[in-house]
Amino acid sequence: MNRLLSRIDEALAGLYDAAELDSVKRALCLELLGLSPVTYYTRQELTPDKERDQKFTDALERLTNGEPLQYVMGYTPFEGLNFMVDNRVLIPRPETAELVEWIVRDCDGADSVLDIGTGSGCIAVTLASKLPGCKVQGWDVSDSALELACLNNCLNSTNVEFRKVDILDVPEQEYCFDVIVSNPPYVLESEKSGMEARVVDYEPHLALFVPDNDPLLFYRAISEFGKKALPKGGKLFFEINPLKAEGLVRMLEDTGYHNVELRNDIFGKQRMIKAIL
């Protein structure tokens, strides 16, 4: 056991801080390799196992190359559920969980919810799980993301309807939803250089970045769509770029929404917004 842990320390030195490294060790040993907590915490010696050793070596190599732990593990927990993740979709973040919790508290009793840019389906599936009786749809432009979202729908025994729809080119027809939520691409291209390599090199750019010259591109499109698809009093929720919070408030008010409310995430950043039509 000590030899295995030493290999992790040596391979990942400088890639993770101490707390992150402890989490990586536990994930690799307890979850990926299936070692017992007793074996792990008492540092018992391991009997030779070629299959286990190869699995460990492969995972450690991927981590050493900078691949996110969640992709190496193949799944990540989110709001009490498990979601399969790989480089087809963004890794669900704590601030997205905060947005979901806000919607659950605020929209209990809603009949229908649309999640635009659903990715792994973490928002849509979690809302379907926590708002029983609510019809939930998830839209995405990526076929590969939708494939994974459908798998997560099955994994968590929910009944989300997933559809391939480009919010910048929505088919003309009647739509009606009580709530629309989106965590759209909002990272400016100019911010890319300051981001972790684990994000830039592995997570899908289609779901991350927006042009510097039109940072509200997706928010504007979704807000305009919401005017057609939401009833009077319908609610719109976004995860947002804190740098664009004030501009987004003005845009929503100019578009016809009211009671616009900004909320901070656990790190004190303006990361969520709600508006009522």
**Cα separation of 100 and 174, whole Å?**
26
Mark which of 65, 87, 115 sits at the end of a domain.
65
- The pLDDT score that the predictor gives to residue 203 is 84
- Please check whether residue 70 lies inside any domain of the structure: no
Nearest to 97 by CA among 123, 130, 132, 61: 123
- The pLDDT score that the predictor gives to residue 207 is 86
- Could you tell me if 272 and 196 lie in one domain? yes
- Could you tell me if 55 and 93 lie in one domain? no
- Could you tell me if 14 and 129 lie in one domain? no
Task: Give the distance, in angstroms, between the CA of residue 18 and the centroid of all CA atoms in the same chain.
Answer: 24
Q: Are 121 and 83 in contact (CB under 8 A)?
A: yes
Contacts 24+ apart (CB under 8 A), 35-39: 35/1, 39/1
Query: Going edge to edge, which strands form the sheet with 161-164?
Result: 161-164, 135-140, 112-116, 179-182, 235-239, 270-276, 258-264
255 is written with which tokens? Answer: 């578009």
Which regions of the chain are under pLDDT 50? Answer: none
Q: How many domains does the chain have?
A: 2
Q: What angle do CA 137, 141, 143 make, to 5 degrees?
A: 95
- Please check whether residue 72 lies inside any domain of the structure: no
- The pLDDT score that the predictor gives to residue 27 is 94
- The pLDDT score that the predictor gives to residue 46 is 85
Q: What is the CATH number of the domain that holds 114?
A: 3.40.50.150
Q: What is the DSSP string of 51-106?
A: HHHHHHHHHHHHHHTT--HHHHHTEEEETTEEEE--TTSPPP-HHHHHHHHHHHHH
For 202, phi then psi, to 5°, come to: -125, -35
- Please check whether residue 74 lies inside any domain of the structure: no
- Could you tell me if 34 and 112 lie in one domain? no
- Please check whether residue 194 lies inside any domain of the structure: yes
Q: Are 76 and 34 in contact (CB under 8 A)?
A: no
- Could you tell me if 51 and 94 lie in one domain? no
- The pLDDT score that the predictor gives to residue 13 is 86
- Could you tell me if 38 and 97 lie in one domain? no
- The pLDDT score that the predictor gives to residue 49 is 85
- Please check whether residue 73 lies inside any domain of the structure: no
Q: What is the DSSP string of 109-138?
A: T-SEEEEES-TTSHHHHHHHHHSTT-EEEE
- Could you tell me if 109 and 172 lie in one domain? yes
- Could you tell me if 222 and 163 lie in one domain? yes
- Could you tell me if 45 and 156 lie in one domain? no
Mark which of 22, 39, 65 sits at the end of a domain.
65
- Could you tell me if 60 and 90 lie in one domain? no
Place of tokens 């915490």: 41
Place of tokens 């928002």: 123
Mark which of 37, 65, 93 sits at the end of a domain.
65
Q: Are 163 and 137 in contact (CB under 8 A)?
A: yes
Helix 143-155 with 122-130: angle, nearest 10 deg: 30
56 is written with which tokens? Answer: 């460990």
- Could you tell me if 115 and 217 lie in one domain? yes
**Cα separation of 165 and 266, whole Å?**
32
- Please check whether residue 111 lies inside any domain of the structure: yes
Distances (CA, A) of 139 to 2, 25, 80, 88, 243: 47, 36, 23, 15, 26
- The pLDDT score that the predictor gives to residue 257 is 97
Other Cβ atoms closer than 10 A to 263: 14
Q: Residues 39-55: pLDDT tens digits? A: 989 988 888 888 999 99
- Could you tell me if 243 and 216 lie in one domain? yes
Q: Are 61 and 12 in contact (CB under 8 A)?
A: no
Can you give the residue range of the structural domain that contains 201? 79-276
- Please check whether residue 202 lies inside any domain of the structure: yes
